[in-house]
Structure 1
């Protein structure tokens, strides 16, 4: 094959590569528009700085954004080492261990993350930042909620702050309810055998006050069978009888019925004929 043919082929390949690199350079420049401005001096682990792809031809590298290092010449085949498991927590790496991959850290219930929640695979094949840890919570959140009860904290924490160890919550039933548990009504913020702060389980049980059965008046009726606070019952009488007392009574917060006990009294009737005779005799 003539020498000039090889020469022509070499020129064509060179042109093709140049166009390919130009296209790739355009893509990289588009991807790197939002790269942060590099601070000086650059961290010692940073790779060679660059401003365009032409500066990274040697070693088959690309001009890529490398976090705080800014635009740097990065190898195409970079992989960071797998991450060690996080005790009492978890690590998520959705995109694996490639350059610029993000590792997300979180802790199990009862633990708090100390350190960064995210780390990035850098151009030096290392993960950014320091390895976080999961530390046991040494404070308690709000005490457990018990139906129909309120609690008072001692000492009283500041607004939006958790409760220190040995803090106490004193429970009491709201008006109209009473504690039927016959046990202690306070709990403490303590540490369990894993060193995690927790509230003891409250034993208080608040039940509605109950009124005695008021019965049903003779020759009368009662509507309603719930005798607990704050329910209401109603009374009525059979035909020929009038109700004397309260038509409606409510079981109050102290366990007593409101109003007066009703009675059904026979209606008084007049003998009109006797009334006529009495008037005639007059």
Structure 2
């Protein structure tokens, strides 16, 4: 509290009044009211006696003491000025709620107060996610005004989140409060744990994940098939297995599967299916190459048209995985006739034996050079010709003409045309 000590009373309204003041808390400023004095104010330092200058008091006025204190209070002392009383009033001025700096607020219970007594010291603290970056957190109420805010607050920096073996950490924004770290594993490794961490008030939130080598469970077995190699527990990344089918079954799908980076064998496993194509039914055509039915996957046969017919399409067919022949079956169309000529030729009838065991005859015209030709219009590749000399010959189809190319003796005497 304030303490006012009168050292010498004023002996009249126009006399010189000497007085002394002492404060036990903070500095005081003495300001005159209603009457002039020699000086505008007198400062009384904390804890010291301050003798006033010989002030001249005129009239019945008062002095106001303004200073820092723990609470608002007033003190009135009466100075005996002859028979007139002079009032000296000591009064402290309060401070409003201080304005905080960026990203900070009052600390403790001070945040609940509306006014602060003169001389009060309060402290600021940085908001959650921010940290002090210099400056004092304290300010003081001085004669109704706060001292400047010196504290600086900046976003907390979490720094590096660490290291991940067989992986890396990416920071899309930064490592400051609220930012996110993303963990990415190397190829062939998979993440165990969360792939994101967030910078919080106490550092990176969450546990750092790890990257483990990718493994695959054994691939599935397939009906009427098998795969190799076999492992009891697991396969490592990029391990490959090969599938195969039992006899009379065809593999439909990928033959090989690989342990992929997502922990599964890729692509999907194949199937073992029975593929059989029907016996081609081509009117006016005969099979000249290929095995007899049944026809399995990728079996190949070749057909030729009978004499007097010409083939539209391709004569070689392949049995596909869908049980159909590719390309589409050809057609044998009747060959257009040509006008007869006056030229006389000698025609020899021969019998051709196809690989299917069927026989057919075709007119053959001798050639001056000793070869025989026949305008049959059929695909004659691979057709054997049985001649009168008990020898086999092969006819070549050149420019729509039969050409007797090669002769050889029959391998067995009992073999007949």
TM-score of the alignment, normalized to the shorter chain, above 0.5? no
Higher relative contact order structure (alpha carbons within 8 Å, sequence separation ≥ 6): 1
Q: Which has the higher helix share?
A: 1
The two structures have a TM-score, normalised by structure 1, of 0.42
- Structure exhibiting the larger radius of gyration computed from Cα positions: 2
